[in-house]
Amino acid sequence: MRSIVPAIVIGGFIATTAASAHHSHPDFPADQDATVEGTVERIQFENPHVLITLRTAESTLYTLEWQSAKWLANQPRVFVTPVPGPITSDMLKVGDRIIVTGVPPRDPTRHELVNLKAVNRPADNWLWTCRRPPGHSC
């Protein structure tokens, strides 16, 4: 029995560390924001993260890392305006023009944003925003 307890404690520590590492982005300065505008080329609405490929007017492709599909579908309806509701796979479509704000990488040659704070579709004023307390990412 004694050997099982340390194994459980060590296993729990490893699982916690792996989850923390998965959600940490040391190469993305959390105190900086960037905004990118473009057309949706691809959406992977799945877990562990929803990934959007966005093409800018200059034809630069960006990879945008949103929350998980499950998290977006289960969050309070106050995150979306003008019509409140969960984020589902049919909310954004290939060809939609969107404006996205998130955290950029330290390396400007990497065209990525993580920890998205806002996703806006100007055509119909659809807007998702992160409304978490300071220090808590969406």
Count of C-beta atoms within a 10 Å radius of residue 99: 15
Alpha helices in the chain (DSSP H): 4-23, 69-74
* Range 18-32 average pLDDT: 62
Phi and psi at 74, nearest 5°, equal -110, 5
Does residue 25 carry a pLDDT above 60? yes
Does residue 28 or residue 127 have the better pLDDT?
127
Q: Where are the extended beta strands (E) located within the chain?
A: 34-44, 51-55, 61-65, 80-81, 97-103, 112-121, 126-129
Task: Tell me which residue of 26, 18, 10, 6 sits closest to 107, measured CA to CA.
Answer: 26
- CA-based R_g, the chain, Å: 17
Closest to 95 (Cα-Cα) out of 36, 37, 42, 35 = 42
pLDDT at 23: 53
Please check the confidence at residue 2 and state whether its pLDDT lies above 80.
no
Give the integer Cα–Cα distance in Å for 117 and 49: 14
Write down the mean pLDDT value for the chain.
79
The hierarchical CATH code for the domain 29-129 is 2.40.50.140
pTM of the predicted model, to two decimals? 0.75
CB atoms within 10 A of CB 63: 14
pLDDT at 133 over 90: no
Choice among 50-59, 60-69, 84-93, 129-138 with the minimum mean pLDDT? 129-138
pLDDT at 137: 57
pLDDT tens string 29-81: 788 899 999 999 999 998 999 999 999 999 999 999 998 898 888 876 556 66
Q: Where along the chain do its domains lie?
A: 29-129
Give pLDDT, residue 72.
84
